[in-house]
Amino acid sequence: MVFVTKPPNENFSYARTSNNVSKLFSGIPLVDLTKPDSKQLIVKACEEYGFFKIINHGVPMDFITRLESEATKFFSMPLSEKEKAGPPNPLGYGNNHIGKNGDVGWVEYLLLTTNTESNSQSSALNDYISAVKKMACEILELMAEGLKIQPRNVLSKLLMDEQSDSCFRLNHYPLCPELQGLSSASARNVIGFGEHTDPQIISVLRSNNTSGLQISLGDGSWISVPPDQNSFFINVGDSLQVLTNGRFQSVRHRVLANGLKSRVSMIYFGGPPLSEKIAPLQSVMNGEEESLYEEFTWFEYKKSACSSRLADNRLGHFERI
């Protein structure tokens, strides 16, 4: 089974800016969490791309490698064993099919809860999730500081809430036989995970050293993100776009299959409690500024996302005209 798209016009493109003037794309924004300018760089990256890379993140390398080897071990089991952890609705093992509405991709995955009590059988998973959640909260606090909104935990408290509806995903993109032996110039694009935005607030992604992730600049072009197994990549989700009244943009991204090396990624999706009202924070609104969106709860948005296709513009249904 192959899922093909037209080759993209990669890495020569224009990015949107806060004043809507295009400028030449100058690389994936890089944020060093230990540097004092990190909050300004984070705000700029969220406004321009909704995407950036984090170095000096403080997550112990040992937590990462332990979980990666557990993931690799799981995905190398016979299909019949893996299927015992399925189907993936809402959590569990799945392959080739993503969501419930006909999306397909060259991928297998495990969707998990972030609840440490339910995951008590894997200390590697729990250690990793706790450390990545802490980093995600630190980043959300830097965003609040950079946006000059009070209190500084106005965003991070949504993830810290006991009722926070966050989830975790392990993805395995196997070697794609269709692409084996083809140079990247002659290879077609086989879709591993189709283009989409993440519905939550923030996503924290870590992958092994295999390429495949691409982000969209919103002008039809796709930028390949060079893999870096020692860093994390952060995505702004749809909910954060709404909370900032469109100041931050959720990033459209996708993963292409690879003919040379398999890819393993692990993603933490930080979401609010189901009952949380998702609306622009009062403190981000200037003067007479009005909300760009109808009011909805995370429960309502999640429900609507579950009945959509991956590539749909899910926020479109909630935009005020």
> Annotated active-site positions, please?
263
Counting contacts by CB under 6 A, is residue 199 touching ligand GA4?
yes
Counting contacts by CB under 6 A, is residue 196 touching ligand GA4?
yes
Counting contacts by CB under 6 A, is residue 103 touching ligand GA4?
yes
- What are φ and ψ of residue 113, in 5° steps? -80, 160
**Which CB, 53 or 314, lies closer to ligand GA4?**
314
Interface with ligand GA4 (CB under 6 A), residue from 48, 165, 198, 276: 198
> 252 near 195, Cβ under 8 Å?
yes
Amino acid at 151: P
CB-count burial class (<10 Å; 0-12, 13-18, 19+) for 235 = buried
Counting contacts by CB under 6 A, is residue 30 touching ligand GA4?
no
**Which CB, 166 or 245, lies closer to ligand GA4?**
166
Q: Minimum distance between the CB of residue 104 and ligand GA4, rounded to whole angstroms? A: 11
Sketch the per residue contact string, 242 through 281, with ligand GA4: x for CB under 6 A, - otherwise. ---------------------------x------------
| Nearest CA-CA partner of 252 in 1, 16, 78 | 16
* Residues of span 287-316 touching ligand GA4 by CB under 6 A: 305-306, 308-310
Residues touching ligand GA4, count (CB under 6 A): 16
Q: Minimum distance between the CB of residue 298 and ligand GA4, rounded to whole angstroms? A: 11
Interface with ligand GA4 (CB under 6 A), residue from 56, 101, 180, 313: 101
Counting contacts by CB under 6 A, is residue 165 touching ligand GA4?
no
CA distance 5 to 153: 41
Q: What would the 3-class secondary structure string for 200-268 be?
A: CCEEEEEECCCCCEEEECCCCCEEECCCCCCCEEEEECHHHHHHCCCCCCCCCEEEECCCCCCEEEEEE
Q: Which residue is nearest to ligand GA4 (CB)?
A: 99
Q: SS3 of 194, please?
A: strand
Q: Minimum distance between the CB of residue 88 and ligand GA4, rounded to whole angstroms? A: 7
**Which CB, 77 or 306, lies closer to ligand GA4?**
306
Counting contacts by CB under 6 A, is residue 225 touching ligand GA4?
no
Q: Minimum distance between the CB of residue 237 and ligand GA4, rounded to whole angstroms? A: 8
CA distance 44 to 50: 9
Amino acid at 267: I
Residues 6 or more apart from 68 whose CB is under 8 A from it?
A: 208, 264, 266
> 41 near 31, Cβ under 8 Å?
yes
Binding residues for ligand GA4, rule: CB under 6 A, are 98-99, 101, 103, 111, 167, 169, 196, 198-199, 269, 305-306, 308-310
